Amino acid sequence: MAMLEVEDLNVRFYTEDGVVKATNDLSYRVEAGERFGVVGESGAGKSVTSLAVMGLVDDPGVIESGEIRFKGEDLLELDDEEMRRLRGNEIAMIFQDAETALNPAYTVGEQISEAIRHHLAPGEAAAEERSIEMLESVGIPDPATRYSNYPHEFSGGMQQRAVIAMALSCDPDLIIADEPTTALDVTIEAQILTLLEDIAEEFDTAIQLITHDLGVVAEFCDRMMVMYAGHPVEMAPVEDVYYDPQHPYTVGLMSSIPRIGDDRDRLDTIPGRMPDLIEMPPGCNFHPRCPYAEEVCTRREPPLVDTDTGEPADVTDHDSQVAACLAHTGELTGRLDYEVTVRDDTHSRPVGSTGDGSPSE
């Protein structure tokens, strides 16, 4: 049993323009101590997924069906009171923009202490002491003084550290980090990621990292899931996805990253935009943007299958690489003929690969 099991999750937003299908039959697992990346463009359903796990999907959003099991317990069955006992305690969240996530009217220390007091009830002084320890553990110098500072007296990086301290304050087993470094500059980003890495190792905390930055995932995660229009399109150990992506969308995402030594005049972009989540294209949602799309793609929604066997995906098998593309069910006439080039620091060598998973060096 995995620590977090999301099963066929469907989140809908009932708006005046229609029903927004934010996630569609989304299933994934996160193991204890695992670092799981969720990648995709804006609007792919990444943040909704994390809010759903936190039980914080708000009006007009509704979790229509599915299960979210945390340590075997279905969170959707819990009442508000029971959910609150988990939130901030066993499942914690790190927000994207620390500046807005901190309440400007209370000291940073108070904002950490209140969660500790609420969940662990150790008394005022002990809560303060623990908060100061937390501030210290996330690398904030002079934590005792910083405890009584207000958020505006912190720099951006320090604020993000404080938010991480908050998430860690009750020793959670799962941290959902929603773009924790997006608002920071690169040097701070590296520090924060290292910090999260150390913490995850020290406390054996599972981290679900949501990001649109493939570089961050490569550096940080064990496994990853690529999302498109509320669907998982590819899921596999990070290295498999990077060296041998099996979904045209993943390939498109990767070729749109600039690299040092890049000799392209223009970056490759994926043509078009993410579809309207109210009226999604029939068949494969990605087909209007897909260079390999065939007629069948407009009719048949591709199932998530094991790319080696073509069998329906088993989300509990963490070593398998799964993707939702008809190329893997043998329903396409053509092949996904792209090449993957792997660059080292010193030289680059094409390893080459075709979409059917057979390296052709």
Partner 1 sequence: MSLRRYVLKRLLITIPLLLGVTLATFAMVHFIPGDPIDFITLFTELDPETKQQIRARYGLDDPIYVQYLDWLANAARGDFGTSITTRQPVTQEIAERLPFTLLMGSMAFVIAIVTAIPAGIAAAYHRNTKVDQVSRVAALLGIAIPNFWLGLILILVFASWLEVFPVLPPTGEGLLSSEMIVYTLLPALAIGTGSTALLMRLMRSSMVEELDKDYVTMARAKGLPERTVVGKHVLRNSLISVVTVAAIQVAFIISGSVVVEIVFSYPGLGRLLVNRVRNHDFPVIQALVLIIGVAVIFANLLADVLYAYLDPRIRY
Q: Judged by CB under 8 A, which stretch of 15-23, 89-97, 215-223, 273-281 contacts partner 1?
A: 89-97
Among 23, 24, 89, 320, binds partner 1 (CB under 8 A): 89
Number of chain positions touching partner 1 (CB under 8 A):
29
Burial of 122 (0-12, 13-18, 19+ CB in 10 A): middle
Q: Is 93 a binder of partner 1 (CB under 8 A)?
A: yes
84 binds partner 1 (CB under 8 A): yes
Nearest in space to 218 (alpha carbons), one of 250, 261, 262, 175:
250
β-strands 206-211, 174-178: how paired?
parallel
20 binds partner 1 (CB under 8 A): no
Q: Which of 41, 129, 150, 340 binds partner 1 (CB under 8 A)?
A: 150
Q: b/e per residue, 72-100, with b = 16+ CB within 10 A? A: eeebeebeeeebeebbbbbbbbbbbbbee
Q: At 111, phi and psi to the nearest 5?
A: -70, -25
Q: Which stretch binds partner 1 (CB under 8 A): 114-122, 248-256, 262-270, 282-290?
A: 114-122
The piece of 17-25, 38-46, 110-118, 248-256 that touches partner 1 (CB under 8 A) is 110-118
103 binds partner 1 (CB under 8 A): yes
- Two tokens at 82? 């029971």
What do you get for the CA distance between the two ends of the chain, in Å?
39
Task: Give one DSSP letter per residue of 81-132, joined into a string.
Answer: HHHHHHBTTTEEEE-S-HHHHS-TTS-HHHHHHHHHHHHH---HHHHHHHHH
Which one, 100 or 341, has the nearer CB to partner 1? Answer: 100
Q: Which stretch binds partner 1 (CB under 8 A): 18-26, 102-110, 258-266, 308-316?
A: 102-110
- HSE-up (13 A, CA, CB side) for residue 200: 23
Q: Which stretch binds partner 1 (CB under 8 A): 51-59, 200-208, 314-322, 333-341?
A: 51-59
Cis peptide before 232 (omega within 30 of 0): no
Q: How far is the CB of 52 from partner 1 (least distance, A)?
A: 13
Among 6, 9, 52, 92, binds partner 1 (CB under 8 A): 92
- Among residues 19 and 83, whose Cβ is nearest to partner 1? 83
Asked if 234 contacts 225 with a C-beta cutoff of 8 angstroms, the reply is: yes
Residues of the shown chain interacting with partner 1 in the complex, contacts defined by CB under 8 A: 51, 54, 56, 84-89, 92-93, 95, 97, 100-107, 114-115, 118-119, 150, 152, 163, 166
